[in-house]
Chain A
Amino acid sequence: MGELNVVGKNVERVDIRAKVTGRAVYAADMDMPGMLHGKIIRCLEYAHAKVKSLDFSEAEKMPGVVKCLGPDDVTSKTYNQSVIDLMASEQEAEWMGDIEEQNIFTKHVKFYGDGIGAIIAESEEQAERAAAKVKVEYEPLPVYLTPEQSSAPDAVQFVPEKPGNRAFQLPAEMFPNNCLGWGDVDEAFKEADLIVEDRFYTPKQKQCQMEPNNYIALYDDEGRLNCWASCQMPKLAHVKLARLFEMPMSRVKFNQTVVGGGFGARLGLVMEPEVCALALAVPGRPVKIQQPREEDWLSSPSRHPSDYWMKMGFKKDGTPVAIDAISKNFKGGYYLDGSALASTTGFWLQGMYKVENLRYRGESYFTNQPVCGAYRGYGNPQTNFVLEQIVERGCKELNIDPLEWRKKWHKTVGDNSWIGFTQYSSCALDECLEKGAEAIGWKDKRAKYENQTGVKRRGIGLSVGQHTSGAAPMILEHTTCTVRLNEDASAELLLACSDLGQGSHTTLRQIAAESLGFPIEDVHLNVGDSDANGFDIGAHASRTLYVGGNAVKQACEDAKRQLFERAAKKLEANVEDLDMNLDKEIFVKGSPSKSITAKDICEVGIYNFTNPMTGEANGEAGQIQSYVSYMPDHNSPPFFCTFVEVEVDMETGEVKLLELVSAHDIGRAIHPAICEGQMEGGAQQGLGMALTEEMYFDENGKVKNNSFTDYKMLGASDMPKMTNILVENPDPHGPFGAKSVGEAGLVTPVGAVANAIYQATGIQFTEGPITPEKILKAIKEKEVAA
């Protein structure tokens, strides 16, 4: 690869001026003439109930009310708010058992906060006041908060298709005996010198993106349904809305507004169906829904909590002989991506270590909790919390250095990847481990912190992981990109790739500029408009840079090739002998005076005239355009590790985060500061999952902590000193060698901090989050036992 001009540089983010000045326009900031306001009526009395009657008579009389809508006033068509079902073949979806069982407004309330109706009024305040006047009669049903409860033989069935309320188990058609893995686990355990086994609980963590969910929809005079929302997957939302409302896609327009964070919460649809249903009820008038923060915990998907059992066998020398695991996921009230999550949780397990025998069973059960869906890491943090603690205990009992063990046993180039049947194409985990260990002073600290006494005890822990770059070949991968060169040789790219804040519009623009050979200012991305943009899956599976980047690169390289072919004709030279400088002059290598500007070529292509005397055109006709419909045939997972140092107060149970070092094998950093930003932000969420973050419920299923005071996230002064190391080892398939970084940052802090606490206290915590209360309790129990 030659010298790079834009890739690898910390260029100014394309969106950053608008964001620091407050001028970026989020959905809540939009106003439209004649706009009405919608308020969703949520069941806040019960977590499980039948709606016996819904009485709007008082509400209708309230000032400003335009319409009241219940379940029978909107389409009765059911849907699945997740989009995973769109990404699997019909056959696969059937095997996986994906269902569409959601209603826009429900008569069977399945969680605290389920939507049962809506008010449309002239102002937001009027809509809220009217909503308070709606009279609802419920028939309460028993509340199930765990898979054990909901799978009991006499439990009320959530949907007829899923007997026993088991939403999912790995299908036998694809996974013999409903298991993922290889070898003979039961036989192998007989050969083991040491078996480590435990049952874990991983918490219901909420994404807590800072922008609440806000929407506008308008059923316009042309008969088109328009929706404005900060959805992560605008194109798939477009398809889903068209199907739900039985309209051709050409009559639905999806506008993606600036996304104030996603992390999976906006992976599929959230309240797009509701706002569109409201708009269809009042043709010609835009309707806006602004969600109060306290409802965000109720109405958008969270991480799946899981009951996760694992057993691992080792030989005396540390050789891992077998891993057996069962993860039972709490689904919440609806199915969503019940199939995919329970599967990937096992994929991350099979992708990590060289173990001869492995068996994983993944299941999901309905529960009366707000829905669970995608959250950054998609099962990987759960597996990290469990697997990395099991490994740690094995190493401790066998007296093996956990760093050396991981170096020896992690999978690498040529090994079967998490996908099972494809191989890793690059892996620089050893370099990550060496650099990380050096940066935090692993060796000395690890030795120093063994067997401490006293009130304040320190510990250092480590965790490794691997993630994904896109969803191929498991499920659909596809991005289209159109590049047009304007008459002045500036470039316009049309694509539907999302930027949730992770910076992809900046990094994709860098890739475009580099591939075209143009200055970055001359490249514009036209995004967020379903009329103009082609197909793209949207932001999930850490795919945007890897898949979108390759789509952009191919389209731009093709546009540049066309430009060079036209130049070659003009200059009477071979394409291979041409080069272009940053002033966009194309010249013959070695004789720079033989040159033509890109602008001259582009302009003539558009303003193409025929000489009336000679009949000759003034150059090659036609605007230079390129279009690719890119479906990757590869996936290049990144590898990474995190080291964390903590200090535990044995009297209060408090954990102080002293230092965190992460090192990621990202292939190539297209924009180093953006890569670091993913790792830093990921650390805040991963440490939070391990230490403080969990949605919890009373016995009636009421969410008890849907506020930032009660749902504790780490603040600026809770964060440890951080060092984030980018290890660049270009991957043969990634754009300019890049692999993903988006989700990965969250994963390994989870296991690393648990292992640090283990070293400090000598106690392993199987239940997340590891709060001071749990630590104190465990310390007391240990003292009593001793």
Chain B
Amino acid sequence: MNKLSVNLRVNGRGYDLEVASNKTLLEVLRDQLNLPDTKYGCGTGECGACTVLIDGEVVNSCLTLAAAADGREIRTAVGLEKNGQLHPVQQAFIEETAVQCGYCIPGMVVKSVGLLEKNPDPSEEEIRHWLEGNICRCTGYEKIVDAVKSASKKMASAEVKAVG
């Protein structure tokens, strides 16, 4: 298989790597960079367990070739914590007990961050619509939706504080 040299920026850190041209970003994150927080659930773009942010856009990393992410800014669940502080979305998932087995959760958290960065005050319908494509088999989505709502409020009040 062809090897390509790429520069991946993952969670703020740069990696110069050789990747096989057929390798997905998911495989490279998990197997080459040893970042297993992004999960494999189907490998075919149907479950969202592998969701990451690339330049602020949510993508299924199982459908993205690693080479296509060359030079771009990738964020995954494990990189959302800043200075020992969980991201407000992570904090909200904890407070709402929105997690059961947890396997869908890194993808759900990243997907929700992607939403709130674009639309800081989404309606319940918008949240539910946005989360379509991310399957959770444990929670019935109820507390996940509550967590996204509460994170949106948290982030808005943090913004006000920062401005004020």
> Distance (Å) between the CB of B150 and the closest chain A CB?
13
Chain B residues, CB < 8 A from A425: none
A7-15, A65-73, A177-185: which lies at the B interface? A7-15
- How many angstroms between the C-alpha atoms of A31 and B31 in the bound complex? 9
A644 within 8 A of B: no
B41 within 8 A of A: yes
Q: Are B78 and A23 in contact (CB under 8 A)?
A: yes
Q: Is B21 an interface residue (CB 8 A)?
A: no
Q: How far is the CB of A333 from chain B (nearest CB, A)?
A: 25
The CA of A612 and the CA of B135, in the complex, are separated in Å by: 68
CB neighbors of B among A584-627 (8 A): none
Question: Is there contact, CB below 8 Å, between A260 and B128?
Answer: no
* Structural contact, B128 and A13, CB atoms closer than 8 A: no
Contacting pair A20 B86 (CB below 8 A):
yes
Are B137's CB and A681's CB within 8 A?
A: yes
CB of B5 closer than 8 Å to a CB of A: no
- Which A residues are in CB contact (< 8 Å) with B40? 28, 212, 290, 293
Q: Which residues of B contact A18 (CB under 8 A)?
A: 102
B132 partner residues in chain A, CB cutoff 8 A: 715-717
Residues from chain A with a CB closer than 8 A to the CB of B101 are 209-211, 258-262, 500-501
- The answer to whether A16 and B93 touch across the interface, beta carbons within 8 angstroms, is yes
Interface of chain A: mostly helix, strand, loop or mixed: loop
Interface contacts beyond A680-B141, A707-B44: sample of 7 additional A-B pairs, CB < 8 Å, sorted by A: A13-B94, A18-B102, A20-B90, A21-B78, A23-B37, A28-B39, A716-B134
User: Residues 1-39 of chain A: 1 if any B CB is under 8 Å from the residue's CB, otherwise 0?
Assistant: 000000000101101111111111110110100000000
A657 smallest CB distance to B (angstroms): 12
Using A677-B138, A677-B139, A717-B125 as known contacts, say yes or no to A293 and B42 having CB atoms under 8 A apart: yes
Query: 1/0 per residue B121-132: CB within 8 Å of A?
Result: 000010111011
**Known contacts A210-B49, A680-B140; is A22 also within 8 Å of B38 by CB?**
yes
Task: Evaluate whether A292 and B102 lie within 8 angstroms (CB atoms) in the complex, with A20-B109, A677-B139 already known.
Answer: no
Q: Are A261 and B36 in contact (CB under 8 A)?
A: no
A209 to chain B, nearest CB (A): 6
A503 located at the interface, meaning its Cβ lies under 8 Å from any Cβ of chain B in the complex: yes
Residue B25 at the chain A interface, CB threshold 8 Å = no
Complex: A757 Cα to B96 Cα, angstroms: 33
| Interface of B (DSSP majority class) | loop
Interface bits A195-214 vs B (CB < 8 Å: 1, else 0): 00000000000011111100
B residues near A259, Cβ cutoff 8 Å: 101
11 sampled A-B residue pairs with Cβ under 8 A: A13-B99, A22-B38, A23-B37, A24-B102, A28-B39, A681-B100, A683-B140, A716-B144, A717-B129, A717-B132, A719-B141
Residues of B within 8 A of A708 (CB): 42, 44, 46-47, 135
User: Please, which residues of chain A bring their CB within 8 A of the CB of B135?
Assistant: 208, 210, 708, 713, 715
What's the nearest-Cβ distance from chain B to residue A220, in Å?
Answer: 24
A28 with B36: CB separation less than 8 A: yes
